[in-house]
Structure 1
Amino acid sequence: MTDREFGVDRRNMLALGGLGGLATVAPGIARGESVQQANSAVRAGVRTPAQDVVPTRWGPVRGYRLGRIHSFKGIPYAGDTGGAARFLPPADPKPWTAPFGAIAYGPTCPQGENRQWKMPEFNFLLQWDNGLTGEDCLCLNVWTPAIKDNGKRPVMVWMHGGGFSGGSAQELPAYDGANLAERGDVVVVSVNHRLNAFGFLNLAHVGGDAYALSGNAGMLDIVKALEWVRDNIAGFGGDPGNVTIFGQSGGGSKVTALMSSPAARGLFRRAIVQSGGGFGRWSTPEASQRSADAVLAELSIGKFSREALAKVRAVDLVEAMGRAGEKMRAAGQPFGMGPVADGQFIVRDTGAPGLSRDIPMIIGANATERTVALWDPNNENMTEDQLRAQLEKEFPGHGARLLQVFRARRPNAKPIDIYALAASWTFAGGSTARQVHQRNAQAAGAAPTYRYEFAWYTPALDGRPRAYHCAELPFVFNNAERTNASAAGGAEAITLAHRMTDAWIAFARTGNPNHKGIPRWEPTSAERWPTMVFDAKVSVRDDRQSTELLALEATAPRGQ
């Protein structure tokens, strides 16, 4: 387990709308409909019709409409996890009879501060919305073109980023599912669940049977949400038998964890991992218990006491986790709060587990995941000597070879451009490549795996972010007009968003991402890695014999 897997500041983007006439086809326009008709729908404004009530297993919920899309936000899918319920598996919510007002996002899990929140350029790119925190945070959001119509639409369930330590289903405007739901005639669901110590504090060794699964409580929450989808989504126009889970960064790793869990078996049919981690990189029970002991020590809880833990304030638990992490890392010891390969919730396979072999996948990352020129604008002026030294520092013994390989294809590229491409291997590129290898190693007859790279460079902020971590999010959700970085691309970005969104929609509908707006996209194999490159011009390249990929893979044993 690494800090990158379980606790990094990864985030998102979005905000400003209003590009007016830049788009030839507005992102909210259904196929075959005129711009005038779509604008008329938008002018109808937000409505809360009395008939927009959907019965669920636990009680009726009432949402609102904007244009043709029905939105339901903050629906409880499980009970309060505070107090005596801390660290326990999620329980059913208390039933209700009057319609629940599902018209605003629900609470998000308590979490530590992300330093990017106070950095103006990252705030400009990602447009954080942290909402209100609280332990009664097990809620989800639904966007759908119609309700109670037996529509049997594909269902796309989103897992937010932020590692396993932070984030929420609302924190980025790019996560809004209305445009995706409308363009694809699909139902979009996003989920809040327990994070950090609230979701992954492994107390099995001190708390007895009641806490046997505490190290995976946050993942049990997501399974509970998928069970809610299975039991209730038909009323929202969705098909419970056609569910795709997709997520980015930590959300991508959550998708991978669900594919490694017998408890999630049968709750989804397809999976998409965006800039996430590979299979088998979970904490061991022993390592997770050492992290838990460090947190308990910071809380001055010697002998385990359920009552004492129930009385700890959420803010104190977050701060204790932060101090414990700092001390363990300073001592050279790993610290993490994330899924545990306990042999119960998550199988202990080091590769792609057999239970995932029939799940089609899309796996990919962004071309320049590390926004190195945002952390330090001086990197834009990096010299060739500095590039050579930096590559050798990050890839000991391989720096000269990497420079030779990357420079051969880009003789006129700025040093910072080459560094941004190579350095992304250590952030997400290597993890996604490893996962493709793991999938291709499965037995013959396994479901297909499609590979992509998002390579569009934003012109925002003088172009310094490039294809940064999270850059693809508004393109997947068809929200290019809503975000600062993608909106800066104007009509070009909107067109690319349609192409990428349509690929995700096609995959959710059929398990095959091909559509008429992109070149033919074939699945990977041990010999060939057809990679769909989403850029201003969408293209396909075979990365399996790429000299750059081979040079990067040579920097560490495969599987690490």
Structure 2
Amino acid sequence: MTFVGAFATLALMAGQVDTQQHAEARLSQGVLAGRVEDTVASYRNIPYAAPPVGPLRWRPPQPPTAWTGRRDATAYGAICIQPPANGDPGVGPPPMSEDCLNLNVWTTQQTGARAPVMVWIHGGALINGSGTAALYEGDDLARRGVVVVTLNYRLGRLGFFDHPALAAERPAEEAAGNYGVMDVIAALEWVKANIAAFGGDPANVTVFGESAGGVLVNRLMISPKARGLFHKAVVQSGLGRELQIPLDRKGPGGSPSARERGQAWGAAAGLTTAEALRAAPPETFLGPAPSFANGDLNLIDGVVVPDRVEAVFRAGGQAPVPYVIGTNSAEFWWIKPTDRSGYGLIDDDMTWLERAEAVQAYGGIQGFDAQVVTDLVFTEPARNLARLHAAAGHPTYLYRFDVTSTAGPEPHNGASHAVERPYVFGNLGILPYPVEERDRRASEAMMGYWTAFARSGDPDGPGRPAWPRVTGNDQRIMTFGNEGPFVAPAPFSARLDILQRFRERGRP
């Protein structure tokens, strides 16, 4: 039974707010007891799937069970199994557990409302992060008339993994490998069946995510299993040409399949049977850490994720929904093309002629070293997906985030990876430097555009520069800069054209 079918009989009643600052929502699963702060009702730690433990480890998510009485929904639930956060503000507080498939809702809506819904998918290279971080609290967005949902999904090898022993025991028709993607789809099915209880419109759902969360939004865009569960999409720094590995076939250049990688890891860990894999403590699967850049977690399973993202977009097979995509101006400023990492190796296939042309376009080797990894990983792939989506006839909007602070701890020649997140949520207090008018102006603009887009599929609104659609190859781009948002021709087109030719030429 699908999640939609499992919840089709829910008797959904809108959340009710009383003067004692308590909130209540009634689902057929049970009653949720949330809380109200400054007009916003929030409900936390709502299970959207059964705990993926024991025999459900590496199985598609199953429907959650009901509860009796009033379930306390005032505190966050556990985050998924992951390495230490090391100060990342995109990771919520402990505890950490495999029983982590929970979501959170913020709303200002009353009985009978049909407000737009915004479902956030966190980043973290598919190995860390959570929907429970203070950075992602949805109060400010909810005050703009949307219902906000954040969620957890399985991470690392617990969320993106296969092994011959697991393949041998599962039904032939069962989807495999991309369990984290399946979790997000299950959460969207929960939203479709339940969000009316919080004043949300299940027929007007926007998915938005950053970094690995943006990657997952793109996977939803191409997944047949997600079709119809969302109606608009926003991709923030979501790559677009990342290395993706087939589940049971060799990868590019004859590299091992995902299943072969899983088998090699299991052999090294002394886990060779399905029983041993499922019995091992979850922390076992954290080391050695899988690599996003090397494709360890980017799986093509043929069912949930049918092919490479770029290939499906090029064939016009993506979801026909309005689409915002963009990047930051200096995403990976600290990674040089000479670095011996998965990202630093991306340019290694360049011929000397290609490299010479690119270096010239960047104004010399210093500019090339400073910016080419950002452009290869983020800027050019985002431009490419925007062009392909627009060419398919769908509303498409491209942006660039370039808000910087001289008080910031990083170099000031651009906005680094993930720094736009607090601006989108209005949670500027998380910034590691004093908030200035520049920051408030940028946040106000981004929240305005994002919520307008969620409402209608068009980000424009009164008091803001009109954001033009992408049309052809000469698109204009919305830039969020220190002086406010402005529209101009997409910058650096010549060097991006060179990188596009390099990425799309045939390989030996």
* 1:459 partner amino acid: T
> Relative to 1, partners in 2 of residues 1:511 and 1:335: Cα closer, same or farther, differing over 3 Å?
closer
Q: Is the 8 A contact 1:130 1:170 kept in 2?
A: yes
Q: Provide the TM-score with structure 1 as the length reference.
A: 0.76
Cα offset for 1:429? 1.7
Output one character per residue of 1:406-441: Cα deviation in whole Å (capped at 9) or x when no partner.
Answer: 449xxxxxx977754443113322331232233244
> Which of 451, 454, 457 is the aligned partner of 2:404?
457
Note the residue ranges of structure 2 that are not aligned, 5 or more in a row: 1-16, 249-256, 337-344
Cα offset for 1:126? 4.1
Q: Is the 8 A contact 1:393 1:399 kept in 2?
A: no
* 2:394 partner amino acid: A
CA–CA distance in 1 between the matches of 2:327 and 2:137? 21
What is aligned with 2:23? 52
Residues 300-319 of structure 1 correspond to what in structure 2 (within 5 A)?
300-302=270-272, 304-305=273-274, 307-319=275-287
CA–CA distance in 2 between the matches of 1:391 and 1:299? 30
Output one character per residue of 1:30-65: Cα deviation in whole Å (capped at 9) or x when no partner.
Answer: xxxxxxxxxxxxxxxx99947511012311111111
Q: Is the 8 A contact 1:216 1:345 kept in 2?
A: yes
CA–CA distance in 2 between the matches of 1:267 and 1:54? 22
Note the residue ranges of structure 1 that are not aligned, 5 or more in a row: 1-45, 118-122, 376-389, 409-414
* Structure 2 counterpart SS, 1:525: coil
What is aligned with 1:551? 498
Q: Is the 8 A contact 2:90 2:122 kept in 1?
A: no
* 2:418 partner amino acid: C
> Relative to 1, partners in 2 of residues 1:525 and 1:87: Cα closer, same or farther, differing over 3 Å?
same
Q: Is the 8 A contact 2:121 2:213 kept in 1?
A: yes
Kindly indicate whether residue 399 of structure 2 is the aligned counterpart of residue 437 of structure 1.
Answer: no
> Which of 288, 292, 296 is the aligned partner of 2:266?
296
> Which of 81, 89, 95 is the aligned partner of 1:132?
95
Tell which deviates more after alignment, 246-255 or 423-432. 423-432
Q: Provide the TM-score with structure 2 as the length reference.
A: 0.84
For these two proteins, the number of residue pairs brought into alignment is: 467
Q: Is the 8 A contact 1:257 1:279 kept in 2?
A: no
* Structure 1 counterpart SS, 2:417: coil
What is aligned with 1:529? 475
CA–CA distance in 1 between the matches of 2:242 and 2:376? 17
CA–CA distance in 2 between the matches of 1:202 and 1:430? 31
Cα offset for 1:335? 5.5
> Relative to 1, partners in 2 of residues 1:391 and 1:103: Cα closer, same or farther, differing over 3 Å?
closer
Q: Is the 8 A contact 1:57 1:232 kept in 2?
A: no
* 1:308 partner amino acid: A
Cα offset for 1:69? 0.6
> Relative to 1, partners in 2 of residues 1:269 and 1:77: Cα closer, same or farther, differing over 3 Å?
same
Output one character per residue of 1:226-256: Cα deviation in whole Å (capped at 9) or x when no partner.
Answer: 1111111111111111000000000001011
What is aligned with 2:301? 342
Kindly indicate whether residue 498 of structure 2 is the aligned counterpart of residue 498 of structure 1.
Answer: no
> Which of 181, 185, 191 is the aligned partner of 2:151?
191
> Relative to 1, partners in 2 of residues 1:463 and 1:109: Cα closer, same or farther, differing over 3 Å?
closer
> Which of 405, 408, 411 is the aligned partner of 2:361?
405
Q: Is the 8 A contact 1:458 1:488 kept in 2?
A: no
Output one character per residue of 1:246-272: Cα deviation in whole Å (capped at 9) or x when no partner.
Answer: 000000010111111111111110001
CA–CA distance in 2 between the matches of 1:67 and 1:472? 25
Residues 215-294 of structure 1 correspond to what in structure 2 (within 5 A)?
215-278=177-240, 282-286=244-248, 287-294=257-264
Residues 410-489 of structure 1 correspond to what in structure 2 (within 5 A)?
419-442=369-392, 446-461=393-408, 464=411, 466-480=414-428, 482-485=429-432, 488-489=434-435
CA–CA distance in 1 between the matches of 2:398 and 2:228? 24
CA–CA distance in 2 between the matches of 1:141 and 1:336? 29
CA–CA distance in 2 between the matches of 1:394 and 1:168? 36
Residues 113-124 of structure 1 correspond to what in structure 2 (within 5 A)?
113=84, 117=86, 123=87
CA–CA distance in 2 between the matches of 1:437 and 1:202? 34
CA–CA distance in 2 between the matches of 1:402 and 1:460? 32
Tell me: higher relative CO, structure 1 or 2? Use CA pairs within 8 A at least 6 residues apart: 1
Give the % identical residues: 31
Residues 198-213 of structure 1 correspond to what in structure 2 (within 5 A)?
198-203=158-163, 205-209=167-171, 212-213=174-175
Q: Is the 8 A contact 1:199 1:214 kept in 2?
A: no
Kindly indicate whether residue 89 of structure 2 is the aligned counterpart of residue 145 of structure 1.
Answer: no
Cα offset for 1:139? 0.1
Tell which deviates more after alignment, 344-353 or 466-475. 344-353
> Relative to 1, partners in 2 of residues 1:88 and 1:48: Cα closer, same or farther, differing over 3 Å?
farther
* Structure 1 counterpart SS, 2:181: helix
Cα offset for 1:492? 1.4
* 1:536 partner amino acid: N
> Relative to 1, partners in 2 of residues 1:187 and 1:559: Cα closer, same or farther, differing over 3 Å?
farther
